[in-house]
A = this chain, B = another copy of it.
Amino acid sequence: MSPLPPNSRTARPPLGVGMVGHSFMGRVHSHAWRSVNAFFDLPLQVDLRVVAGRDAARVGAAADRLGWAESTTDWRELLDRDDIALIDICTQGSVHAEIAVAALEAGKHVLCEKPLANTPAEAEAMARAAADAAERGVLAMVGFNYRRVPALSLARALVAEGRIGTVRHVRARYLQDWIVDPEHPLVWRLVREQAGSGALGDIGAHIIDLAEFLTGDHITGVSAITETFIHKRPLGTAQSGIGAQVADTPSDAEAAAPDASAAGIGTVTVDDAAIFLARTSGGALATFEATRFATGRKNALSIELNGSRGSVAFDFEAMNDLWFHDLDEPAATSGFRRITVTEPTHPYTGAWWPPGHGLGYEHSFTHQARDLIDAIANGTTPRPSFEDGLRVQRVLAAVEASATDNSRWTPVEV
């Protein structure tokens, strides 16, 4: 048997990771950390050191299953470990700020799930902490993973190259249907104290970020409606685990709302749906819709940009495709092209399989891990930054302010 060659796992410097939370997001992040070195040639070797959670038995089982060397019920222990250089925050939003600020102050790089926080004030504190940390070479990144779906990375590249010209329209929707049934229990995502907001922050945050990412512009103001269609729901945990898993916000425990174990009825305190109009700094008009009541739509994130020279369109239901329209083509042979984004020349995809062998949801997280590792090794600033996350938070806040004031036009705070 041969020994490991020079450029081996043991030879590369390790990047010790500590993760907080081990539910939906924790599972997908773990997969990314486990996989990234097998597909990308990186200067650091990921070491899955410790996972933190609230319940000892559950976090222990998660460590076992997800590949972490150790587990703990106290996330603060991670801050003191010399073998941990990066804290990955996969909890529900209500504790993002506390953990992230502490980690950055302790000199740990931070990857924090989205939305950055539950309030602009928290997000501001986090962005300040990130700015301070950056001066010490400590980096922070927020997990808007969809930026790194290859088709969307390619869309950004085309827009940045001017292939669609000046953007006039953004059309973004994120549609789910997991709480259409009025008997679906009052899980924590339906409780404001824990989730911050409902569909708005959970999935609306993604399309806000994508709109800014793809255009390279900022959202300057909004006019909004939010709605809660079903106000009372039974307490109790989601039987099939669907309720717990379906939404897209991280949480370290997919616990139901307070008193969930008691029989009875509780009140939904977040939005079921949010729709809003916006303008961008680049002069585009934008429409947004985030809802958990689009019956039959499971995870239908779609976004289209129309520009003066072309258009791009994406639908997560066919996540390996980007549709591109180039106005420079002769009209007789012009049309939206279905680009299967799996070529070696496409973003990220050369690391995976041959053309046409499509990727899945979790790959965007592996790409996120890749880019963050690269940034850490090279000392560059990873994006989306906490500043980017803060801007999304301010859009979320503007949406809520507009919705509670009769759809009044509400500028986004700068």
Contact surface of A with B, Cβ cutoff 8 Å = 1-5, 7-9, 24, 27-28, 30-31, 34-35, 37-38, 50, 56-57, 59-61, 63-67, 70-73, 77, 154, 158, 163-164, 168-169, 171, 173, 175-178, 180, 223-225, 227, 229, 240-242, 245-248, 273, 275-277, 279, 283, 285-287, 289, 291, 293-300, 306-311, 316-319, 321, 324-327, 330-340, 342-346, 352-363, 406-409
13 pairs across A/B with beta carbons < 8 Å?
Answer: A1-B77, A31-B35, A169-B294, A225-B279, A229-B283, A242-B344, A275-B286, A277-B407, A287-B289, A297-B311, A300-B356, A335-B337, A357-B360
Cross-chain contact A354 with B5 (CB below 8 angstroms):
no
10 residue pairs, one from A and one from B, having the closest CB atoms: A299-B356, A298-B356, A296-B325, A360-B360, A223-B407, A357-B361, A5-B60, A335-B339, A335-B337, A246-B354
- Residues of B within 8 Å of A354, CB to CB, are 24, 178, 242, 245-248, 298-299
Q: Is the CB of B285 within 8 A of A306?
A: no
> Separation in Å of the A83 CB from the closest CB of chain B?
12
Task: Chain B residues near A291: list those with CB within 8 A.
Answer: 168-169, 285, 306
User: Is B246 in contact with A9, judged by CB distance below 8 angstroms?
Assistant: no
Q: How far, in Å, is A250 (CB) from chain B's closest CB?
A: 13
Complex Cα distance, B409 from A29, in Å, reads: 42
Centre residue among A173, A283, A352 by max chain B CB count within 10 A: A352
A361 touches B359 (CB 8 A): yes
Contact A311 B338 (CB under 8 A): no
Inter-chain contact B306/A1, CB cutoff 8 Å? no
Decide: B324 and A346 in contact? CB cutoff 8 A.
no
A115 CB, nearest partner CB in chain B, Å: 18
Inter-chain contacts of A331 with B (CB < 8 A)? 343-345
Report the Cα distance A297→B276, complex, angstroms.
22
Q: Count this chain's copies in the assembly.
A: 4
Residue of B nearest to A63 (CB): B4
Which chain B positions have C-beta within 8 A of A362? 352-353
| A287–B287 CB distance below 8 A | yes
Contacts of A363 on B, CB cut-off 8 Å?
A: 360
CB of A273 within 8 A of CB of B338, answer no
Q: Contacts A71-B2, A332-B345, A353-B24: A34 and B35 contacting too (C-beta < 8 A)? A: yes
- A227: nearest chain-B partner, CB-CB: B285
Known contacts A7-B61, A27-B38, A296-B306; can you find 13 more A-B pairs with CB under 8 A? A2-B59, A8-B60, A31-B35, A34-B38, A38-B65, A242-B344, A246-B355, A295-B308, A296-B334, A317-B340, A317-B356, A335-B338, A358-B361
Of B63, B339, B409, the residue contacting A333 (CB under 8 A) is B339
> Do A355 and B158 touch (CB < 8 A)?
no
| Contact partner, A296, options B1, B241, B327, Cβ 8 Å | B327
**Nearest CB to that of A346 among chain B residues?**
B332
In the complex, the answer to whether A56 meets B2 with C-beta atoms within 8 Å is yes
Given A24-B354, A335-B340; A277-B246 close (CB under 8 Å): no
Contacts of A73 in B (CB 8 A): 2
Please indicate the chain B residues that have their CB under 8 angstroms from the CB of A310 in the complex: 295-296
Quick one: which of B34, B275, B338 contacts A338, CB cutoff 8 A? B338
Give the docked Cα–Cα distance between A359 and B31 (Å): 13
**Across-interface contacts of A406 in B (CB, < 8 A):** 408-409
B360 near A359 with CB under 8 A, answer: yes
Complex Cα gap A194–B235 (Å): 59
Are A38 and B50 within 8 A (Cβ)?
no
Please give the distance in Å from A142's CB to the nearest CB on chain B.
20
Are A64's CB and B7's CB within 8 A? yes
Contact residues in B for A24 (Cβ distance below 8 Å): 353-354
